[in-house]
Amino acid sequence: MLPYATLLTVDKTTATPVFVQISDQLHQLIQAGTLSAGQRLPGTRQLANLLGVNRQTIVAAYDEGLVQGWLESRSGSGTFVAMHLPEVKPQPLAETETAINQQPGYTVETHPALHRPLLINSGGLTLDDGFPDVRLAPMAELARAYRSYFRWGNPQQHFGYADTKGHPLLREQLSRHLNETRGLQTTPDNVLVGRGSIMGLYLTCQTLLRPCDVAVTGETTWAGATMNIRQTGATLLTVAVDEHGLDVEALAALCARQTVRLVYVTPHHHYPTTVTLRADRRVRLLQLAEQYGFAILEDDYDYDFHYLSRPILPLASADRNGMVVYVGSLTKSVAPAFRVGYVVAPTALIDELARLRRIIDRQGDQILEFAVAQLFKDGDMKRHFRKALRTYHARRNYFCNLLSTELSDRLTFQKPDGGMAVWAQFDPNIDMPKMVERAGQAGLFLSSGLTHNPPGRQLNGTRLGFASSTEQELEQAVAVLKRVLYPTPTPPR
Right CATH for 4-81 from 1.10.260.40, 3.40.50.2000, 1.10.10.10, 3.40.50.450: 1.10.10.10
- Measured distance CA(320)–CA(364) in Å, rounded: 30
Distance between CA 296 and CA 429 in Å, rounded? 38
Give me the tens of pLDDT residue by residue for the chain, a chain 493 residues long: 678 888 888 998 888 999 999 999 999 898 888 888 889 999 999 999 989 999 999 999 999 999 988 899 988 889 999 888 776 666 565 555 555 667 777 888 887 777 776 666 666 899 998 888 889 888 888 888 878 777 766 666 666 677 889 999 999 999 999 999 899 999 999 999 998 889 999 999 999 999 999 999 999 999 899 999 999 999 999 999 999 999 999 999 999 999 999 999 999 889 999 998 999 999 999 999 999 999 999 999 888 888 877 778 899 999 999 999 999 998 878 877 778 899 999 999 999 999 999 998 888 788 888 889 999 999 999 999 999 999 999 999 999 999 999 999 999 999 998 889 999 999 999 999 999 999 999 999 999 999 888 888 899 999 999 999 999 999 999 999 999 998 765 555 5
Q: DSSP state, 323?
A: -
What residues contact 312, with CB distance under 8 A and at least 6 apart? 267, 268, 276, 279, 306
* CATH (residue range 138-381): 3.40.640.10
Segments making up each domain of the chain, as ranges: 4-81, 125-129+383-485, 138-381
**Amino acid code (one letter) for 171:** R
d(CA 347, CA 367): 25
**Counting beta carbons within 10 angstroms of the beta carbon of residue 400, is it exposed (0 to 12), middle (13 to 18) or buried (19 or more)?**
middle
Please count the helices (runs of H) and the strands (runs of E) in the chain.
Answer: 16, 16
Homologous superfamily in CATH for domain 125-129+383-485: Aspartate Aminotransferase, domain 1 (3.90.1150.10)
